[in-house]
Structure 1
Amino acid sequence: MSIRSSEKRVDVPAIASDRKDEKFTTDNDGLGAAPIVAAPRVDESEASEHVDGGLLAWLQVAGCCFLYWNSLGLINAFGAFQTFYETQLLREESASAISWIGSIQMFLLLATGPIIGPLYDAGHCRLLLYIGAFLVVFGFMMTSLCTAYWQVILAHAICVGLGAGFLTIPAIAIIPPYFKTKRAQAMTTASIGSCLGGTIYPLIFQELQPRIGFPWTVRILGFLTCAMCCFSLAVLRPRHRGQRQLQSLRSLVDRTAFKSAPYCLYSVGVFFSNLAWFVPVFYIQTYALSHGLEAQPVALYLVAIMNAESGPTCQFGQNLKEKKSL
């Protein structure tokens, strides 16, 4: 250390540290003064971690809304297909056998989460979206060609179900980094896409199928799905890419999460709620038709009505949470 004058600045050697870009200096007015630490370089994306609004942020909400629309929304709309399969295309099959189509869809949507989640964390969001969009659209197009039960299982159940699973995790994970105070509002708004899909798709199916037939009705649904997925792919910009690198197959599952009692209790509750969640969605129309409502047009729109009612309920729950600070 060398002091040139009382008005000069004194350079003090940097203390060994893990931060290579830190520099320590002090003024000669008091040699015992606290050192001034130069701030480490901060990534611009981390500096503006939560923008809490703006065009880009709300475009993420719109894009994720369409992802929900074409994943969980498709499964919410299965009741319309259940009715058609029972009464026309697969009339030789039992209602229980036909409901396996929708059940497999929902199983694949949830069961792929432990694999797709880590892949998203590893920075493969775009790949997941491309695969999911392709599988859903391809599944619809193949369903339009189906004439046998096993064909419908492969196309409508497995192909569409896998595609829905690939789209659901990005729909859940993309929005939170863009919002902080408005996060609940943004995620609730996006999730309404599942209600819209469960409302619009049955209406389209019931209106078009008697006029143009099952094959072209399903193809039109596939074209609509393709258009919405293209919009999502164009606007979605996931943040914090590649935070977690996959070291092995074991790293796909975070076993430390199961050490949290609240998380385990929540998981058990969701498990049992899912056991009965889709029973009314799948069977409400066929139940109405089997109990003397064949002549009532409303019987064929019960799935759409049920899903339409769930949208305002989601928004009400979000507003209640904000007021009660739950």
Structure 2
Amino acid sequence: MSMTQSKISNALASHDKLNELEELGHRHSPDSSALCSESDLPDGGFWAWATAFGCFLIQFCGFGYVSSFGVYQDFYTRIYLADLPPSAISWIGALTSFLADNVTLISGPLYDRGWFYQLMIVGSLLQALSLFALSFAKPGQFYLIFMVQGVLSGIGMGLTYGPCMAVISQHFSKRRTLVMSFVASGSPLGAVIHPIMLNYLLNGSVGFARGVRASAGFVSALLLISCLSMRTRALSTSKPTASYSAAARKCSRDVFFILITAGSTLFQIGYYFPIFYMQLDSIKHGINVQFSFYSLVIMNGACVIGRCTAGIIAAYTGTLNFTIASTVACSALIISMIALRDVASVVVLGLAYGYFSGVYIALMVPLVTAFTPDLSELGARFGICFAFTGVYYPALFRNF
């Protein structure tokens, strides 16, 4: 009897020891380490804020520079590519924007597999190289301009755009929406500074070649600073076990992700209407031409404020609620463009639409992040979402 009790007690002890070993192994498994790091994010610190600043510069030099294509469009139409119709020239800017969004289908999964630094370096080099190569283009060389400014620059921006937004999730948790909205403000700030600088360079005494080289040097310096500033966290970049196809299948069954993607695609189609037609409408209503040019500057300035404050307000209202409110406000303001008559109406509509559209764009990425159950799939989800929202770019710029 005592021997039986001894065997039972030994078996129980062995079972308890096995449970302890399994628990210890679970603690040190790759998946659980990623979860631990996710629940124990620093939410600040030098490298976290340095990474946010570097991502801000990526946005400033990425879509912030794409927004200055109107200056190139005007210069090409009047001087460099005068033999071509404006609709053909607009394909350069259309392709840049299209690739910047759709290359995220590639860069997103690569980011999930820990290729962040390679994507930033290669993407930045392609952007810098495309601008320096553009400065050697001669009048009438449409295909060279199309390849270096449309294709090469678009691929470079696509390699950096999605990953630079996703890496914020490795450093911030409670402040994630706030920091992502700060990073997103780099794009409209670039849309204010780059066009003004390019207008003075290309249309002044500097000329096209030296003007584009000066712009390329400025962008290259900022991209270098951004690459030196950004860091990843080791525990959060372990290779995911799920493949890209598995992540795509999971997205196809996620109803909320499907609704976010469909809603953002529909919103983006209407989003560009005031940006394309505010200046034209104000001129047709007899408003001063110089002031009409600055209507877009007013709109982009308000957009910067909207993107910077979106994260602060969303902390109290909720990201989803504030996103819905901003889309409703933008819809009402687009309809209100019917009442555009004088300087006051241009200022009010420009400020209001710039602010609420900035809020929406700033909250779109945090919204996708907030409803991503596994952050190891975040890059893949960004790629899928951005690919759909970027499909319409060629049609928009073609009609522009």
* TM-score after normalising by structure 2: 0.67
Cα deviation per residue 1:241-293 (whole Å; 9 max; x = unaligned)? 2432686xx64862210111121121112222333444654676677779888
State whether structure 2 residue 54 is matched by structure 1 residue 60. no
Choose from 192, 196, 203 the match for 2:196: 203
The verdict on how the C-alpha distance between 1:44 and 1:275 changes in structure 2, with shifts beyond 3 A counting, is: closer
Choose from 114, 133, 138 the match for 1:123: 114
* Alpha-carbon distance in 1 for matches of 2:92, 2:284: 20
1:235 counterpart residue number:
229
Counterpart residue identity of residue 257, structure 1: C
Q: Equivalences for 1:120-269 in 2 at 5 Å?
A: 120-146=111-137, 147=139, 148-209=141-202, 210-239=204-233, 240-244=236-240, 251=245, 254-269=248-263
Choose from 84, 88, 92 the match for 1:97: 88
Choose from 104, 107, 116 the match for 1:113: 104
Choose from 38, 46, 50 the match for 2:41: 50
Choose from 292, 314, 337 the match for 1:321: 314
Secondary structure, aligned partner of 1:211: coil
Matched-pair contact (CA < 8 Å) for 2:135–2:209? yes
1:208 is displaced (CA, Å) by 1.8
Counterpart residue identity of residue 18, structure 2: A
1:16 counterpart residue number:
18
Matched-pair contact (CA < 8 Å) for 2:27–2:33? no
- The range that moved more, 278-287 or 211-220, is 278-287
The verdict on how the C-alpha distance between 1:75 and 1:183 changes in structure 2, with shifts beyond 3 A counting, is: same
Matched-pair contact (CA < 8 Å) for 1:83–1:286? no
* Alpha-carbon distance in 1 for matches of 2:73, 2:271: 16
Of structures 1 and 2, the larger Rg is shown by 1
The verdict on how the C-alpha distance between 1:257 and 1:87 changes in structure 2, with shifts beyond 3 A counting, is: same
Matched-pair contact (CA < 8 Å) for 1:281–1:303? yes
**How large is the Cα RMSD of the aligned pairs?**
3.2
* Alpha-carbon distance in 1 for matches of 2:283, 2:80: 17
Secondary structure, aligned partner of 1:237: coil
* Alpha-carbon distance in 2 for matches of 1:71, 1:102: 12
Matched-pair contact (CA < 8 Å) for 1:78–1:281? no
Alignment gaps of 5+ in structure 2: 1-11, 322-400
Counterpart residue identity of residue 82, structure 1: Q
Aligned residue pair count: 301
1:6 counterpart residue number:
none
Cα deviation per residue 1:187-238 (whole Å; 9 max; x = unaligned)? 1111111111111111111122212001111111111111111111111112
2:343 counterpart residue number:
none
Choose from 80, 83, 96 the match for 2:74: 83
Matched-pair contact (CA < 8 Å) for 1:79–1:283? no
Counterpart residue identity of residue 192, structure 1: S
- The range that moved more, 14-23 or 72-81, is 14-23
Alignment gaps of 5+ in structure 1: 1-10, 24-37
The verdict on how the C-alpha distance between 1:115 and 1:245 changes in structure 2, with shifts beyond 3 A counting, is: farther
Cα deviation per residue 1:130-153 (whole Å; 9 max; x = unaligned)? 110011111111111223221211
Matched-pair contact (CA < 8 Å) for 1:67–1:171? yes
Cα deviation per residue 1:165-200 (whole Å; 9 max; x = unaligned)? 011012111112211221111111111111111111
The verdict on how the C-alpha distance between 1:39 and 1:100 changes in structure 2, with shifts beyond 3 A counting, is: closer
